[in-house]
Structure 1
Amino acid sequence: MFAHAGLLLAGLTLTSARPPQQALTNNDNLHHNNHHNHQPPSIPGFVALGDSYSAGIGTPIPGPKENNCRQGTGAYPFLLAADLNLLPNPNSTSPTTNTTTPFQWLSCTGSLTTDLLSTSNPNSPSQIDTIALSPVPPAFATLSIGGNDLGFFDVLNACIFRFYSFYSGTCASALAASEAALLAPDFDLRLLLVLRETLDKVQWEKHPRFTITVTGYAKFFNAETEECDGVSLGVWWGGAGVVRGPKLTKEVRGRMNGLVERVNAKIRRTVEGVNGGFAGMERVVFVDYDKEFEGHRFCEEGVKEPDYGREETWFFLPGGGDSGEGGRPPDGNGTEVALGERDGWLEEGSELVDVEKCLERAERGGDWGERALCYMAVVKSRWPNERLVGEDLTQRLPWEEVGTTSWRAPTYYGKTFHPRSKGHEAIRDNVYEVWRQHGIKLGPRQ
């Protein structure tokens, strides 16, 4: 084993999926998002809960450095807060915290339902524990949760990327495990507890208009086209310039889409069950925005994947840019890197992934980027001749010693298959439409 085998963390802090400790202190990226001219209603504030889909991983970061929850200002909760004029003043001389700002952005990449549920440990509060009750409770909450509980990453690893190479298992076994988790009652119970604990935290009986808006997930693929049947998005070279990895066949795409559909159906049923306990009052609404992604998935008709320049794809590709940024695929010689890959390298002294210790932590949490980095580091430590697509073996940081085997891998795999900014805008718009349908008087479009 190499003496210094590991991955240098590029913009990724290995922390548990807890709310970020720093407040959002600038809104430089707002002006193109808050495009409504009429005055929004007066809303005291709201809280955003959930996972990476609510954190907006991959979209522009809300400051000079990515925070520990990998939040991005393209996230649909951030867009809602911008529309409602709930963002903190970037020119304020007094710092704010997540527990005092009108917009409590507690969504955190890697979160499981257990990261939201209340805990008895005051030194490690959950997202629900962090909800502020003073001075005014939030008017509503948004929530995205479930993908990490039900094994989305395991399916993407085994069926698409193979980060863990030979150890990744089979696509069939990963899909079977996720489907079994969907059939088990555990997730339903935890989601039910999350919704009820959130309502209790804001003292719902005193605030009859408080609602929770739960968002689902979107299917990743057009499963009917033939263009992707021979395409692989695997991360390792197989020799002779061929990417080693599973093919995106119709069968694989169809089963992965079916998994998303069943997740959404399960979330919908849980939401309906909670509302059933409130004698006809809708305390929770479900936003199934999947239909908005029609025509914007991977493997659409006439698209040759991976198409890094296609603006109408609303999910991130490995190394691809955000909406409006474009992007280039990295090549096998390292002569080209994906747009933004060198942005955000950590400073001298940044830690490397410890291949002896990272597995337990990574597999216990739900952060896709952390797991991908750990898996790739372990593979490199055991098989040093293995080579990542786009890896530049000659590139070295100034403080790295000649002869060491520490190396860097991009953290952009953590954002892969998450919505780009255009996708989040579509989710926001669908939230407004569902509010209108349910008579919820929130947002400037009411």
Structure 2
Amino acid sequence: MRLAAVFTFVLSCGFVFSRAFEQRRLVAPDKTQHVIGGGASSAQHRRPLPITLAHPEDGGFQTGFVAFGDSYSAGIGTGFHGKEDDCRRGLGAHAELIRADLEASQGGPNSTAFQFLSCTGATTRELISGGPDSQVDAFNASLPADFALLSVGGNDLGFFAVMNACVFRFYNFYSGTCAAALADARAQIEGDEFEERLRVAAAEVLDAVRWEKRPWFSITVTGYARFFDDATDACDDMSFGVWWDGPKLTRGLRAEMNAMVLAVNAKVRRTVDAVNARFTRDKLVFVDYDAAFDGHRFCEEGVAEPDYGRADTWFFLVGGRDNARNGTAVHHQQSRHASSDLEILAPNSVLVDPSSCLGPAQRSGDWGELALCYMTMAKARDPSLRLAAAAAAHGNLAAENSMWYVPTYYGKTFHPRSRGHEAIRDKIYEVWRGLE
């Protein structure tokens, strides 16, 4: 790895961002100091570098970056201003946290050109050029872009199908068997199609920024974290199923689902290595943040699942609250549940047509749309179905009377909460710092 020519990150209650002098038009080094991640309260601990990233030719932006990928990159469920956008991008996403750190280091708002292109439901097909939702095509390479963030793979390799069949059973008995879903995921992980598309996507991003003229540009690719503690038997009789008497979170199931995540990470890492092998200097950086989630997964020792009140669990449950720290939550979905325009969305709600919802939901790739459609279809096929006790007790089907809101309530499950995104950001900084 030779990203020293790109940026230097130094940990001291924050991270210092810099680039080699010869790669940018730099103001005299005694004029500016830039620190990433340090708030006003930690100013005395900073170790800034005397370097500026000013680009007068770029409309005042000092630096910039772009975020590509799926819902794990978009930060679904971590808050939004006003109305949530169609891609369910969250204010607590690690890309947003990095943007805020960069802006603080560069002198304030609007100093960083940030293109947030990540979208819930995205696969590698939505990354590469040519499609109607192509993120690469939406990328404006005329804006400053010094690095990219990328998270993708879970939708390509069958995360939702496994969670539906093995854990939640949104479509009840018609969800298919857990064994079949796991076998299909393993087959997709072992295949070559995902790696080929990810290689194409990386090449297209590098070509878009004209990497040969911007040698410091790199793509930081993040993996995923295991969902469960699989070392304890205490969770064996617990369930996340949405219908009464749902599947149990046995130790064997938890171990298999964790193994799937590790296999996806290994596949992404192999692809990163394959792309880098084509260059004399590495262009991609893989960040494995799985270990940072130790102690913060589902089914930790002493936790009775589903535990909606445990802020130390860094993944969302269906309809669960975020765990943003005080002062960081701008607008969270759960905060709207007290308003008078809410209704309890039953699985036979008129908002969802069980005869026609599946096609659009599958095309969207949005886990929330799929979950809600499957539940509605299940209820239509068997009106006697009852919600699980936990779902009823925690109001997990409360939702606003509009479809833009409902899917997030379901779709954010098994995605990182705000503190999880903080850990992802910190791991990215740690890896960058090690590349100096």
TM-score by length of 2: 0.77
Work out the CA distance in 1 between the residues paired with 2:107 and 2:377: 44
Bigger relative contact order, structure 1 or 2 (CA pairs below 8 A, ≥6 apart): 1
Work out the CA distance in 2 between the residues paired with 1:182 and 1:47: 27
Q: Give the AA of the match of 2:150.
A: L
Aligned to 1:236: 243
Alignment of 1:35-54 (within 5 A): 35=39, 37=43, 42=53, 43-54=62-73
Structure 2: gaps of 5 or more residues: 1-36, 54-61, 327-332, 344-348
Sort the Cα spacing of 1:343 and 1:269 in 2 relative to 1 into closer, same or farther, 3 A.
Answer: farther
Sort the Cα spacing of 1:208 and 1:344 in 2 relative to 1 into closer, same or farther, 3 A.
Answer: farther
Aligned to 2:366: 367
- Higher mean C-alpha displacement, 303-312 vs 415-424: 303-312
Sort the Cα spacing of 1:398 and 1:342 in 2 relative to 1 into closer, same or farther, 3 A.
Answer: closer
Sort the Cα spacing of 1:410 and 1:362 in 2 relative to 1 into closer, same or farther, 3 A.
Answer: closer
Q: Give the AA of the match of 2:322.
A: D
Does residue 115 (structure 1) correspond to residue 126 (structure 2)? The answer is: yes
* 8 A contact 2:63–2:112 mirrored in 1: no
Aligned to 2:409: 412
Aligned to 1:314: 314
Q: Give the AA of the match of 1:369.
A: G
How far does residue 429 in structure 1 lie from its aligned partner after superposition?
0.4
Alignment of 1:15-414 (within 5 A): 35=39, 37=43, 42=53, 43-61=62-80, 63-85=81-103, 102-119=113-130, 124-134=132-142, 136-237=143-244, 244-279=245-280, 281-324=281-324, 339-340=334-335, 342=337, 352-389=351-388, 390=391, 411-414=408-411
Sort the Cα spacing of 1:64 and 1:173 in 2 relative to 1 into closer, same or farther, 3 A.
Answer: same
How far does residue 310 in structure 1 lie from its aligned partner after superposition?
1.4
The one-character-per-residue Cα deviations of 1:45-83 (angstroms, maximum 9, x if unpaired) are 10000000111011111x111111111111000000000
* 8 A contact 1:65–1:344 mirrored in 2: no
* 8 A contact 2:88–2:408 mirrored in 1: no
Q: Percent identity?
A: 54
Aligned to 1:5: none
The one-character-per-residue Cα deviations of 1:247-277 (angstroms, maximum 9, x if unpaired) are 1111100000000001000100110111110
Q: Give the AA of the match of 2:254.
A: R
The one-character-per-residue Cα deviations of 1:114-145 (angstroms, maximum 9, x if unpaired) are 001101x6xx35111111122x4410000000
* 8 A contact 1:141–1:211 mirrored in 2: yes
How far does residue 356 in structure 1 lie from its aligned partner after superposition?
2.0
How far does residue 437 in structure 1 lie from its aligned partner after superposition?
1.0
* 8 A contact 1:216–1:286 mirrored in 2: yes
SS of 1:84's equivalent in the other structure is: helix
Work out the CA distance in 1 between the residues paired with 2:291 and 2:406: 34
Aligned length: 369
Sort the Cα spacing of 1:91 and 1:137 in 2 relative to 1 into closer, same or farther, 3 A.
Answer: closer
Structure 1: gaps of 5 or more residues: 1-32, 93-99, 238-243, 327-337, 401-405, 440-446
- Higher mean C-alpha displacement, 373-382 vs 283-292: 373-382
How far does residue 305 in structure 1 lie from its aligned partner after superposition?
1.2
SS of 1:312's equivalent in the other structure is: coil
Work out the CA distance in 2 between the residues paired with 1:89 and 1:380: 54
RMSD over equivalenced CA pairs, Å:
3.3
Sort the Cα spacing of 1:431 and 1:399 in 2 relative to 1 into closer, same or farther, 3 A.
Answer: closer
Work out the CA distance in 2 between the residues paired with 1:133 and 1:169: 44
The one-character-per-residue Cα deviations of 1:298-350 (angstroms, maximum 9, x if unpaired) are 11111111111212111111222111589xxxxxxxxxxx95472799899x9
SS of 2:67's equivalent in the other structure is: strand
How far does residue 396 in structure 1 lie from its aligned partner after superposition?
11
Work out the CA distance in 2 between the residues paired with 1:139 and 1:89: 17
* 8 A contact 2:103–2:109 mirrored in 1: no
Work out the CA distance in 1 between the residues paired with 2:260 and 2:198: 17
Work out the CA distance in 2 between the residues paired with 1:301 and 1:80: 32
* 8 A contact 1:341–1:410 mirrored in 2: no
SS of 1:214's equivalent in the other structure is: strand
How far does residue 382 in structure 1 lie from its aligned partner after superposition?
2.2
Work out the CA distance in 2 between the residues paired with 1:195 and 1:356: 39
* 8 A contact 1:34–1:79 mirrored in 2: no
Choose the corresponding residue for 2:418, options 421, 432, 437.
421
* 8 A contact 1:319–1:341 mirrored in 2: no
Sort the Cα spacing of 1:175 and 1:87 in 2 relative to 1 into closer, same or farther, 3 A.
Answer: farther
The one-character-per-residue Cα deviations of 1:354-391 (angstroms, maximum 9, x if unpaired) are 32222122223321101001111111222223233445
Sort the Cα spacing of 1:88 and 1:174 in 2 relative to 1 into closer, same or farther, 3 A.
Answer: farther
SS of 2:63's equivalent in the other structure is: coil
* 8 A contact 2:221–2:287 mirrored in 1: yes
Sort the Cα spacing of 1:387 and 1:79 in 2 relative to 1 into closer, same or farther, 3 A.
Answer: same
Work out the CA distance in 1 between the residues paired with 2:246 and 2:265: 28
Work out the CA distance in 2 between the residues paired with 1:252 and 1:304: 17
SS of 1:102's equivalent in the other structure is: strand
Work out the CA distance in 2 between the residues paired with 1:73 and 1:345: 25
The one-character-per-residue Cα deviations of 1:223-243 (angstroms, maximum 9, x if unpaired) are 010111011110012xxxxxx
Sort the Cα spacing of 1:160 and 1:370 in 2 relative to 1 into closer, same or farther, 3 A.
Answer: same
The one-character-per-residue Cα deviations of 1:182-239 (angstroms, maximum 9, x if unpaired) are 11111111111111111111111110000000000000001010111011110012xx
SS of 1:236's equivalent in the other structure is: coil
* 8 A contact 2:136–2:204 mirrored in 1: yes
Instruction: Choose between structure 1 and 2: higher helix proportion.
Output: 2
Which structure 1 residue ranges, 4+ long, deviate > 6 Å from structure 2? 86-92, 343-348, 395-400
